[in-house]
Structure 1
Amino acid sequence: MANQDVNLNRLAVFVALVDAGSFTAAAQRLDTTKSRVSQHLAALEKELGASLLVRSTRRMALTSAGAQFHADSVHILEQAHAAIARVGVQSAIPSGLLRITAAGDYGAAVVAPALTSFLRRYPQLKVDLVATDRVTDLIAEHFDLSIRVGWLRDSGLRAVRLTSFRQCLVASPAYLAEHGTPKRLDDLPRQRWIELSVLRSPLRWTFSAPDGKQRSVRVQSGVQANSALSVHAFVLAGAGMSVLPDYLVQGDVRAGRLVVLLPRHRLPDGGIFAVYPERQPSAKVRAFIEHMREFIAQAD
């Protein structure tokens, strides 16, 4: 009875032996010794529980089982080589479906436009973008890549820093006209705050003064929302002030729809990271990471 745990490497030795016609020629082809080829054949016959070759001092011949097994082995090795070649092509050329997740605000403001130009470069690709402010499980949810914003938690994933962003304290002109413009950090607790509830500490902010000294300020929540896009909408509508990333508000600031407050007091910069689960990322992942870097650099 055949052993189910057959060493598949021995198939290649067996095929090379049959094709070469002798143990000496097979050993030369495989860059090994005659004794090693003989050992592989003996082990293969033992694993299969069948004789594959009949040997004499001058010649060798396939048994009926050996002839069938040789044909099957050639087919198996051809399939293996084809599979390896397909993986090689896939590792060199971006193809297939790129499934990517990104923070809701950054996904809409930056990742979606970047993916649009990326697809022009690689029209054979398909894209599935999932924009969400929750931290997704890349492996369990079958994502190729995540674009994460802020400060990374420790994990077994691989990460590449793409760029950084500045946190901006902003409010609308209408809100400031009604409630007054804060001149000092001490003024902030008296203002209406739009709270981003998914943050670890949404109502406590640490500012750095021009002299480098840091000061934490606790503010009062007037409205809370679970996404940066919703906070942005509330601030634009004049419901209160909040801290938002520069990539989300810079257009509004230039157009006068929002005002940056206390610009001499800075909040910590955050990072934009490409995070992926594979030790060796696929061609589509590598290509999009490089494209994101180019896209961000052009935007700056």
Structure 2
Amino acid sequence: MADVRDVNLNRLGIYAAVVEAGSLTAAAERLGLAKTVVSTHMQRLEAEVGASLLIRTTRRLNVTEAGRRFYEAAREILRAAEEALADVAGDGGPLRGTLRVTAPIDFGQLVVAPAIVALRRMHPELDIELICNDRYMDLVAENIDVAIRLGRLADSTYRTVKIGSYAKWVVAAPEFVAKYGEPRDPADLASMPYVAVSILPHPFSFELQNTRGTKKTVKCGRSGFLANTATACRAATLAGGGFGVLTDFSVAGDVAAGALVRLLPRWVAPESDIRAVFPPTNRVPAKALALVDLLRPQSS
């Protein structure tokens, strides 16, 4: 059995980067090191722990079963070290380490990415990776510090905090309105070409609510466009492919610029939460809370 005194703990961060990046080359680019240096560190780490951690082939790099267990333990050690440094630095100290964030594609691009730029200006020693994905990522398995999620969340043991809310507007391009006219009632939408988000449970139906609280469900029989991301649906709506029911944060600028027109402006899809989700650790890292604080004014 290897003795911890014989292991260079500085190699743990490099090893974690190799596993997360999926190759020595990608890890070297992320770390700003030469590939040969990263390879040497991995060879020496395997010698120090007395086990094969990685399987290298000409085409790819795989992690052994022992290597996967060692990676999970290494991540816990690195996370604990980062939290200890944050405690020592105090609340007003600079943030360091790495912050991994995941968010839906449209919200990530439009809201989270600018907030991350602002956070890095405030804390230049903090490295941040944003992963935009419309699927839910496993926060523990994929080493995510904070996930930004929209809408209703499934019950879980994860900590969550509300950072804002959003609604959906019925919008269309001016040329679409010129061709099909403006609907007077939600029921009129059912016969118009609709830009639908395919990943929703019921992509061809949606609920609208007016200022008096009256709710109506619209079921569309025709689809002008079907796509698996809200970003693609916004682009199709801008191009006149149909009307869309899109998030206010993604189309408010288009409406203000005249690129889109709000249809039935007294009707919106009911508001939903924007929440930050944290993995089930003893303490939420200060770096994750700092990002949440920046997002709150942009999400309300």
Shift of 1:273: 0.8
Please give the secondary structure, in 1, of the residue aligned with 2:182: coil
**Gaps spanning 5+ residues in structure 1: where?**
1-82
Taking the aligned partners of 1:98 and 1:240, their CA distance within structure 2 comes to: 39
1:1-300 matches, within 5 Å, as 87-91=83-87, 92=90, 93=93, 94-219=95-220, 220-277=222-279, 278-294=281-297, 296=298
User: Bigger shift: 171-180 or 103-112?
Assistant: 171-180
For the residues of structure 1 that align with 2:210 and 2:144, how far apart are their CA atoms? 41
Alignment correspondent of 2:7 = none
Q: Which deviations, in whole Å up to 9, do the C-alpha atoms of 1:215-265 show, x marking residues without a partner?
A: 211013221100000000000000001111111001100000001111112
Q: Tell me if the contact between 2:169 and 2:267 (Cα under 8 Å) persists in the aligned partners.
A: no
Distance 2:114 2:263 in 1: 29
Q: Deviation at 1:89?
A: 2.2
SS class of match (2:115): helix
Say whether the 8 Å CA contact 1:167–1:270 is kept in structure 2. Answer: no
Distance in 2, matches of 1:147 and 1:288, equals 11
1:86 to partner: Cα distance: 6.9
Q: Distance in 2 between matches of 1:237 and 1:143?
A: 36
Tell me the distance in 1 between the aligned counterparts of 2:131 and 2:80: 31
SS of match in other structure, 1:285: helix
Describe the SS at the equivalent of 1:269. strand
Pair 1:121–1:159, CA change in 2 (3 A): same
Alignment check: 8 A CA contact 1:205 1:218 kept? yes
Change (3 A) 1:251 1:279: same
TM-score by length of 2: 0.68
Deviation per CA, 1:187-215: give whole Å up to 9, x if none.
Answer: 11110001101112221112223432222
User: Whole-Å Cα distance in 2 between the matches of residues 172 and 145 of structure 1?
Assistant: 35
CA RMSD of the aligned region, Å?
A: 1.9
Larger Cα-atom Rg:
1
Match of 2:33 in 1: none
Which amino acid is 1:177 matched to?
A
Q: Distance in 2 between matches of 1:243 and 1:262?
A: 11
3-state SS, counterpart of residue 139 of structure 2 = coil
Once structures 1 and 2 are overlaid, which stretch shifts more, 230-239 or 87-96? Answer: 87-96
Q: Secondary structure at the match of 2:223?
A: strand
**Is the 2:194–2:244 contact (alpha carbons within 8 Å) kept by the matching residues of 1?**
yes
The residue that corresponds to 2:14 in the other structure is none
Structure 1: distance between partners of 2:261 and 2:81? 57
8 Å contact from structure 1 (residues 158, 279) kept in 2: no
Distance in 2 between the 1:87 and 1:134 partners? 28
TM-score, length-normalised on structure 1? 0.68
Judged with a 3 Å threshold, the aligned counterparts in structure 2 of structure 1 residues 155 and 254 are, in CA distance, closer, same or farther, namely same
The CA distance in 2 between the partners of 1:145 and 1:85, in whole Å, is 18
